[in-house]
Amino acid sequence: MLLIAVILYVAIAFALQTVRVDGESMVGTLQNQDLLLASKISYDFGGNPQRGDIVILIPPADPSQDFIKRVIGVPGDVIEIDGDHTPTQVLIKPGGKGAFQVLNEPYLPQPWVTLKYCCTPSGMATTSSPQPLTIPAGDYFVMGDNRNFSSDSRVFGLVPRKNILAKAILRIWPLDHFGGLGAGPILEPVSTTALAIPALGIAAFEAWRWRRRRMRRSAAARTAPPGPDPLS
């Protein structure tokens, strides 16, 4: 029995770890000092991180510490962040195919107003305009849910697969919040409403110009002197 107990303990210790949240970057889903249970083997048997997974990772800029973030873009995706929209839109072509889709993220705690344009070739934020990026094989784009207070891929760039250590699966403390980590993001078609409004404006402007030209021609025809009699 003791041997079995030791084997089970080693197996559990190998497969799982506890993680304490330190900071506010995941507020909306996780709170500072929450205690989580994470699986260290979720990605070790042929699986890879998926969009929406909450993962423990080593940031490329500082290998001395671990971060907890949400996977937003996976290898092959084309990703763009457009802060010209309200709210800011994360646009993704899953696997690089088809049209852009909007990432619906109901867990965000507040409007997102910082680092709201992306991406440079390394996956970091741009200054004032959205730029699409194709995520290379083996790399991931991650962000904290509290976008205004998160150091993530917008700051340190794409995260290599080898830097992703575990997948958070359960909150075990505080007890009054014990349970799963909530629903993830959903990809939805880009709304055509925003495109329809400018199109209607252009159509109305062209119609106004056409009417104005027609009125000018009519006025010119009324004031022009009579020409010679074509039969004289």
What's residue 224's pLDDT? Answer: 54
Task: Give the torsion sign (CA, 186, 118, 149, 61).
Answer: positive
Q: Tokens 């330190």 belong to which residue?
A: 22
What's residue 216's pLDDT? Answer: 62
What's residue 83's pLDDT? Answer: 95
Give φ, ψ of 175 to 5 degrees.
-60, -30
What's residue 196's pLDDT? Answer: 41
Are 82 and 91 within 8 A, CB to CB?
Answer: yes
Burial of 39 per CB tally in 10 Å (0-12, 13-18, 19+): middle
CATH class of the 2-189 domain in this structure: mainly beta
What's residue 14's pLDDT? Answer: 77
Task: Give the torsion sign (CA, 25, 191, 94, 41).
Answer: positive
Q: Tokens 């929450």 belong to which residue?
A: 34
Rounded alpha-carbon distances, angstroms, from residue 216 to 62, 221, 225, 226, 227? 69, 9, 16, 18, 20
Task: Give the torsion sign (CA, 53, 147, 78, 196).
Answer: positive
Catalytic residue status for 97: no
Catalytic residue among 42, 69, 116, 167: 69
Distance CA(84)–CA(87), nearest Å, equals 8
Distance CA(107)–CA(182), nearest Å, equals 8
Catalytic residue status for 25: yes
Domain boundaries in the chain?
A: 2-189
Which regions of the chain are under pLDDT 70? 192-232
Rounded alpha-carbon distances, angstroms, from residue 208 to 15, 202, 220? 69, 10, 18
